[in-house]
Chains A and B, each alone.
Chain A
Amino acid sequence: MDMAQYIPVLLTKYNYWVYITLMMIGLWAMIAKNNLVKKIIGMSIFQTAIILFYVSIGAKYGATIPILRHGHNGAHEAIRTVDYINPLPHVLMLTAIVVSVATLGVALALSIRIHRRHRTLEEDDILTQLREP
């Protein structure tokens, strides 16, 4: 594959670019920020980016939610799969959202514990405190 082939891929798959950008913002916050809560926010952005990615791969133009309507006389209408979006990624993301909320909760709980002990959430200050016995 040469570069020319990539260009349409890059343009049509803009959802990928969005999630990658979001991911990088989150990652940057986690690495570069000094405040623990900002790091946690970065982590949340990071996780949300992936959730958005999943949601976007399930989406489809002009399609609807996959709830089949049954005819009153018992006859099924013909099901055209192109009319429906794929629900599975979305359903999975319900779980992933739960996971990310739980992670957020644990992270915040830990940071409360840290704050109680050190009276600060700036990582540098905490490390200085830890170095001085």
Chain B
Amino acid sequence: MTQHFPALLVTAPLLCALLVSIAGWLRPRLCLPIALVGLGVATLAATGMLAQVLTSGPIGYRLGGWDPPWGIYYFLDQLNAVVAAVVAWVALVNLAASHRAVQADYEDKQGPFYTLYVLAVTGLLGMVATGDAFNLYVLLEISSLTGYALIGLGPNRAPLSSLNYLFLGTIGASFYLLGVGYLYIVTGSLNMADLAELLKPLYGSLAVTTAFSLIVVGLWMKMAFFPLHAWLPNAYSQAPGPAASLLAPLMTKVMVYVMIRMMLSVFTVDFVGTQAVLQQAVGWLAVAAIVAGALFALAQRDLKRMLAYIVVGEVGYMVGGAWLGNRIGMTGAVLHLINDAVMTFCVFLAAGCIFQKIRGTAFEDLQGLFKKMPWTMAALAVGALAIIGVPPTCGFFSKWYLIRGGLEAGHWGFVCALLFSSLVNVVLFFRLFEIAFFEPMAEGNGHGDHHGHAPAVAIAEAPLSMLLPLMAAALGLVALGLATGPLVKYVITPVMPTGLW
């Protein structure tokens, strides 16, 4: 059983997606339980594999028994084992929280929703686990297509935003495919480990550089790296709650993972190190992404849109860290990848809870929310602290490594951008908290009359089925933060290539 975990990771949710879609026709009430079982098995497999990888080293798995490099090979080392575990857990917890919101937002389309949901997670998990460059493309498209549909099922603008996302996403995926094509031309292989070996003598080749550029640009489009981010804010802010809290934390993060995997395991840091101009350019693009994300977020007057732009900035953190060209920066990027998945999840889920209760996330709607939804707001506050980077939440520690990486590389622009974005995040969230805390204004202005009770607002919290997962996410942020030491030592350091200092 345990040796088939890698297959289970993908096949269990895939089969369940089929069952869910059948159940959608026959017994819609069974959709959620079946989906939960599918993702539960995948989560179990992911967690089991993480434990396995940590105790006895990387796992390889030949799909269908075909040997690499001909067959599709799943390969899990510490890096993707932990990413897979995070993806599976976030998806599972979000699914558990989705029940009421799906009833409200998708009404008669529960069957399709859960089918798409499980398929999207299948794609994400597969992308993380696969060791085959073309298989990755297929899985990428599975998760993207289901993602478009999940967003497109939303109200108002959502179909149009989703279609725009589809256009850009398809261009991105096509670029990736093209890049893989070039790699195939020069090496005749699609297996990542095989590619890494075969590419070594070819580092000077223009074709390899072209392939690398195409792949990286394609991935940037998919992860919404500034200035290719245009699709993200609309898509994520108009997606219905459960879809947004699935895609926003996971989609971009998995794409960042793929980029890092390409940089570390396919092209290797020796090759990336030779692309000095590109490295410089990406460093400054990351700075631009962070600053632009922060400034755009400042201009928003809606919680979900603000969060979407924060995601744009966060992508800049990770891309920048990965391209600093040193071990600490890369450590920071990987750490932030894990942390950001959980913290984005936490804040989007909180936004989902708020939407569930007051049917809106515009700033004006948030008045008096600390009174009305104290627990949701507490969780949002914890998420905010993580995004700002206040210890002991996990955001602090990844920022710590990223800033250190920037210092090590002498990239002051990146360091300043990170600090700037932290400060802007303080403004962003406390501006929102001010509205939720002070408004509607108490009677009197503090002078003389100190009896100014705020108008009595009854507590009207989100349903417990949403609140408990939200609390789990918020606690997870602190737990992840305190686990930084082992995480870096046992998970991230072993996968850092020796060529990286």
- Number of A residues with CB within 8 Å of any CB on chain B: 32
B138 neighbours in A (Cβ, 8 Å) = 95, 99
- Number of B residues with CB within 8 Å of any CB on chain A: 27
Say which residue of A46, A57, A99, A106 sits within 8 Å of B166 (CB atoms): A106
The answer to whether A114 touches B181, judged by C-beta atoms less than 8 angstroms apart, is no
B162 neighbours in A (Cβ, 8 Å) = 110
Given A46-B171, A99-B138, the answer on whether A114 and B177 have CB atoms closer than 8 Å is: no
Q: Does B340 contact A (CB under 8 A)?
A: no
The answer to whether B160 touches A126, judged by C-beta atoms less than 8 angstroms apart, is yes
A63 neighbours in B (Cβ, 8 Å) = none
Q: Could you tell me the distance between the alpha carbons of A47 and B166 in the complex, rounded to whole angstroms?
A: 13
B132 to chain A, nearest CB (A): 11
Q: Does B145 contact A (CB under 8 A)?
A: yes
Q: Could you tell me the distance between the alpha carbons of A92 and B177 in the complex, rounded to whole angstroms?
A: 11
The answer to whether A43 touches B159, judged by C-beta atoms less than 8 angstroms apart, is no
Say which residue of B159, B171, B174, B190 sits within 8 Å of A114 (CB atoms): B159
Q: Does B280 contact A (CB under 8 A)?
A: no
Q: Could you tell me the distance between the alpha carbons of A57 and B190 in the complex, rounded to whole angstroms?
A: 15
B 167-197 to A, binary, CB cutoff 8 A, 1 in contact else 0: 1001100100110010011001010000000
The answer to whether B174 touches A47, judged by C-beta atoms less than 8 angstroms apart, is yes
Q: Does A96 contact B (CB under 8 A)?
A: yes
B190 neighbours in A (Cβ, 8 Å) = 88
B152 neighbours in A (Cβ, 8 Å) = 106, 109-110, 113
The answer to whether B157 touches A103, judged by C-beta atoms less than 8 angstroms apart, is no
B 364-408 to A, binary, CB cutoff 8 A, 1 in contact else 0: 000000000000000000000000000000000000000000000
Q: Does B54 contact A (CB under 8 A)?
A: no
SS of B interface (majority): helix
B188 neighbours in A (Cβ, 8 Å) = 86
Q: Could you tell me the distance between the alpha carbons of A99 and B188 in the complex, rounded to whole angstroms?
A: 22
A84 neighbours in B (Cβ, 8 Å) = none
Given A53-B178, A103-B145, the answer on whether A43 and B170 have CB atoms closer than 8 Å is: yes
B149 — nearest CB in chain A belongs to which residue?
A: A106
A86 neighbours in B (Cβ, 8 Å) = 188
The answer to whether A102 touches B141, judged by C-beta atoms less than 8 angstroms apart, is yes
A91 — nearest CB in chain B belongs to which residue?
A: B134
Given A92-B134, A102-B141, A114-B160, the answer on whether A107 and B178 have CB atoms closer than 8 Å is: no
B41 to chain A, nearest CB (A): 25
* Pairs A-B, 8 closest by C-beta atoms: A113-B159, A99-B141, A110-B163, A110-B152, A114-B159, A110-B159, A50-B174, A106-B148
Q: List 17 A-B contacts (CB under 8 A).
A: A39-B167, A43-B167, A43-B171, A47-B170, A54-B177, A88-B184, A96-B137, A96-B177, A99-B138, A99-B141, A106-B148, A106-B152, A110-B152, A110-B159, A111-B159, A114-B159, A126-B160
